[in-house]
Amino acid sequence: MRMASIASSTINPYGIAALVLIVLVVVLIVLYIWLYRRRKKSWKHECKKHLST
């Protein structure tokens, strides 16, 4: 019963728009966290470079 209601809501253009927005938000959050972690590591690396020279 629930699967049928979910399927019918996805056919609705507003349902599709909501799903697309949710997916985009999740992807952006994941990318932000990944880039933040990479940047943090690279900053540490840069600091070590400057301190050693």
pLDDT tens across 4-51, in order?
666 665 567 777 788 889 999 999 999 999 888 887 776 666 666 666
21 in Cβ contact with 29 (< 8 Å): no
What are the boundaries of each domain within the chain? 2-52
Element of type H or E holding 34: helix 13-52
Say what the pLDDT of residue 25 is. 96
What's the predicted TM-score (pTM) here?
0.52
CA 3 – CA 13 distance, rounded (Å): 18
